[in-house]
Structure 1
Amino acid sequence: MQHSHLARLSALALGVAGVLAFGQAQATGFQLRESSVKNLGRGQAGVATAQDDASVVSNNPAAMVNLAGNTVQTDVTVIDLTADFEGGGTTAAGTPLTGGDGGDPGDPTPVPNFAAVFPMKGALEGLTLGVAVGAPFGLKTEYDRNWVGRYNAVESDLKTVDLTLSAAVKLHDRFSVGVGFIYERADVTLSNALDLGTIMASTGIPGAAPQGADGFASVEGDSNGIGWILGAQWKPTDRLAIGLAHRSEVDHDIEGRADFTTPASFQAAQTLYRTLSANPMLPPAQRAQLAALGNGFVDTGATAELTTPSVTTLSVQYGVTDAVRVMADVQWTDWSSMREVNIDFANPFQPNSIEDFSWRDTTMYALGAEWDMSDTLTLRGGITRDETPTHIETRTPRLPDNDRMLYSIGLTWRLSEALSIDAAYQRIEIDTPRIDIRSSSNSRLVGEFDGYANLFGFAAQYRF
């Protein structure tokens, strides 16, 4: 028997780096910035100084003082990702990986957001309160179950929902501060195939061959976490506004289950592994490896730690005329908090699975403009450069991410003094992501993705 990599194979063959890589999002990594269709139309410029946008509840609570009356706003952005894979790979034995290109892993996915702002009156004048419900991280990709990269990823699905409660105080006509409390819910589903044929072949099971006995594994879990956001806004002149906001990390302790489906041939081999593990003539290390194989790959509880990154945003807005505004943003995302993923299984025969992530901090640069063509119509546009936290050494098909350019247009149509609607379109062009990664069964996947995304946003705002 060959035992050099049995401990690795006995870990959950789930590509557990996917716990942090739940699919291609509008931003790099798995960050979502679709809290506002107005922001989408400006290319995410001006998010911390927005003048007529309730999304500042979760982007920079200090800017809530810009809204003079009670405001309720609902936004929906549909993200349509396309990513085509070209490549192949080899099993641990050096034979070619079988399977297709996986199809298009991204389906049109709606991302809803809600925000409301309430300026206080009377004795509390100068205080503004706000509430927002949104999805700051996540999305979904799903490949064909028989694709060439099935041992790395099939389904990757993350849904986060934030409830943000914010308050702002106007300390001076030109200066305000704000703070927000974040309650975040995360739900996770991940899956991929298991090359159990490689395990059996490496342990000398007669007739076994790589890719000859595929199994399947799926993990589902959820968690709740708490965070905060701080912000400030300064207007040194009537035309110039500067906003700064910092959103904290949110720590999650994901709890759930790992479910395995294994073929009859592997279940029969497990009976042999368990029998051999009781043989006192074998070395203790070999017996432990055989016990892990014989008793692993069964349904079990699973836990993992997940930290969504901190985000710092600096916005500058300048009114060129009463009808034309330009804005620029720089946003820093602390992806380096994601060094590795450690999955802990309730089954004592299932060793912890540790995957290196080593993501890097990123910077986004955005330029945007707005033009009030009339009292009822505003046009906007923007261009953005967004860096990726991933790199080829650890990049996974769960997140075939790379640097990107974003091109945006949008408009607001004011139907009345109280009601307005917004629409926006954004095109994302992604630099070619290259993959060179090994699965937990030691197969190697090599190739590249040709990816882009189209985003369509619609919103309504009511003031009273």
Structure 2
Amino acid sequence: MSMRKAAALALSAALLATPVYADGFAVYEWSARGVGMGGAMMFGDEASLIAYNPAAITQFDEKGTFSGAVTYIAPRGSADFLDGGDNVFLTQHNKNNPAYVPAFFHARRIQPNAWFGVGVYPRFGLKASYDPGWYGRFSNRSIEFLSVSFAPNVAWKIAPSLSMSVGAELMYAGLKLDKSTRLGGETPIDLDGDSWGVGWNVGLSWQATPRLSLAALYRSEVKQTVEGDVNLYGGLGQIATRGHGSIHLPESYTFGVGYRFSDRTRVEFNAIKTMWSSYKDLTINVTVPAPFRPFLGGLASYPYNEAKNWRDGWRYQFGIEHKINDRWTIRAGFVSDDCSSCDPDDADFMVPTGTRRTYTVGASCRVKNVEYSFGYGYMDVGDKRINGAGEKGEDAFTRGCDAHIVSIGARIDL
């Protein structure tokens, strides 16, 4: 029974990392211009609109445009482990383990009243690890979650100033996790799994006046059925098995307002609501290796269920952009993120972040038909309590967490 439960816990913990990650580390860094604008890019003028507001690609001509970016994200932080009271007896840090986020887009007009665009970009991702001897290893030792979405979209004008888009999303998700369990002493486990999921989106973009723009975008949930190898390392050596479980990356609603003061200066505000309250529990089916089945009543698989407690979260994005001349443009932005997984009893070190505030700047330089862009963001992360995360079940606080975000990209007009 210990082996069976350990395998179930191993896989369930690994799969839980996906939505935990998306709460704290949903990816919005799809464009260097977008990073400089604090993510407020629903009314931009590059192909990355496929990710931000695909209904707005109706501005492009038959030749079309390409855009791409690579973003470097480097998080860091500390954890204070508490004794039975509120006294700190140990402080440790995470390992320096940056991530790189690529994104590529293309959009063009294909008919007099029809446009097509496609993007290859991540909507979710997480990379975090801790040194050997990490006191919170029963919560998490290392995790790497990667998602890549292939997203074709079509758009058309339903009125001279109103556009609509419909799109599909094919998402690949890969997950690696390493942690320890308290079964039969300390039992390290790891998981390596992947999955494919399908989603869709629909959007509207309205040029209400020559200066005022409004937009809305709905993204459906994406169901991922992750299958992977589970390994446990106990007194009997390595025990290998398989497991699978379904998770639902939640639906979201994005709203945008843009205003142009002149042909050179504009501001934009976005609000994104992610429906994390739909994530209530997780059921995982772990394959029982054949030699152990006679001891488990012939069970071929074991279902493991764990309840979670999440709440819907809001993200607010504000950006301002000023065109200095025909060549140079400068930007600045601000982002505020809710913490949807801040219940101390449910929190863990897979995503040790609380409420986040991000301050951004950026600039672009145009040379003929190519615009080169740079964006930088500093994310200041609030403290977060994590109950029972220590080696002996002690509570912990994350503190001093932040991240540096650096993005470079280009737009090419054909």
TM-score, normalised to structure 2's length?
Answer: 0.89
Cα gap change, 1:356 to 1:301, in 2 (>3 Å): same
| Offset, 1:145 | 3.3
Corresponding residue to 1:63 among 46, 56, 64: 56
Corresponding residue to 1:19 among 10, 15, 21: 15
What does 1:253-264 align with in structure 2 at a 5 Å threshold?
Answer: 253-264=225-236
Tell me the distance in 1 between the aligned counterparts of 2:205 and 2:73.
31
Partner AA of 1:339 in structure 2 = K
Corresponding residue to 2:30 among 30, 35, 47: 35
| Offset, 1:310 | 1.2
Query: Are positions 1:73 and 2:67 aligned together?
Result: yes
Query: Are positions 1:331 and 2:272 aligned together?
Result: yes
| Offset, 1:300 | 1.0
| Offset, 1:394 | 0.3
5+ unaligned residues in a row in structure 1: which ranges?
Answer: 91-97, 200-209, 268-296
Cα gap change, 1:355 to 1:83, in 2 (>3 Å): farther
Tell me the distance in 2 between the aligned counterparts of 1:259 and 1:444.
23
Cα gap change, 1:24 to 1:248, in 2 (>3 Å): closer
For residue 243 of structure 1, give the secondary structure of its aligned residue in structure 2.
Answer: strand
TM-score, normalised to structure 1's length?
Answer: 0.80
Partner AA of 2:337 in structure 1 = D
Greater strand share, structure number: 2
For residue 57 of structure 2, give the secondary structure of its aligned residue in structure 1.
Answer: helix
Higher-Rg structure is 1
| Offset, 1:419 | 0.5
What does 1:44-193 align with in structure 2 at a 5 Å threshold?
Answer: 44-45=39-40, 47-50=41-44, 52-68=45-61, 69-88=63-82, 103-120=93-110, 124-193=111-180
Alpha carbons 1:58, 1:180 under 8 Å: kept: no
Corresponding residue to 1:446 among 395, 408, 414: 395
Q: State the match for 1:239 in structure 2.
A: 211
Tell me the distance in 2 between the aligned counterparts of 1:161 and 1:346.
28
Partner AA of 2:38 in structure 1 = G
Query: Are positions 1:373 and 2:324 aligned together?
Result: yes
Partner AA of 1:190 in structure 2 = L
Corresponding residue to 1:427 among 378, 386, 397: 378
Partner AA of 2:395 in structure 1 = V
Tell me the distance in 2 between the aligned counterparts of 1:88 and 1:154.
19
Tell me the distance in 2 between the aligned counterparts of 1:129 and 1:135.
20
Q: State the match for 1:462 in structure 2.
A: 412
Q: Percent identity?
A: 25
Cα gap change, 1:15 to 1:183, in 2 (>3 Å): closer
Corresponding residue to 1:399 among 335, 351, 354: 351
Alpha carbons 2:138, 2:389 under 8 Å: kept: no
Deviation sequence 1:9-57 (CA, Å, 0-9, x none):
65644383442335997x8523111112211111112x3222x121111
Deviation sequence 1:406-447 (CA, Å, 0-9, x none):
10111111011x1111100001111101111369xx951411
Cα gap change, 1:108 to 1:438, in 2 (>3 Å): closer
Deviation sequence 1:295-351 (CA, Å, 0-9, x none):
xx8311100112111121111111011211011111111112221222210116574
| Offset, 1:379 | 0.6
Cα gap change, 1:18 to 1:398, in 2 (>3 Å): farther
For residue 420 of structure 1, give the secondary structure of its aligned residue in structure 2.
Answer: strand
More divergent stretch after superposition (137-146 vs 319-328): 137-146
Partner AA of 1:136 in structure 2 = R
Alpha carbons 2:329, 2:364 under 8 Å: kept: yes
Deviation sequence 1:156-210 (CA, Å, 0-9, x none):
11110000001110222201100111000011111112344xx3xxxxxxxxxx5
For residue 159 of structure 1, give the secondary structure of its aligned residue in structure 2.
Answer: strand
Partner AA of 1:321 in structure 2 = S
Tell me the distance in 1 between the aligned counterparts of 2:121 and 2:347.
28
Alpha carbons 2:15, 2:226 under 8 Å: kept: no
Alpha carbons 1:48, 1:245 under 8 Å: kept: no
Tell me the distance in 2 between the aligned counterparts of 1:185 and 1:302.
18
| Offset, 1:89 | 6.5
Partner AA of 1:132 in structure 2 = G
Segments ≥4 residues shifted beyond 6 Å: 5-8
Cα gap change, 1:62 to 1:374, in 2 (>3 Å): same
| Offset, 1:402 | 1.0
Deviation sequence 1:95-116 (CA, Å, 0-9, x none):
xxx9x75542451211000000
Tell me the distance in 2 between the aligned counterparts of 1:88 and 1:8.
32
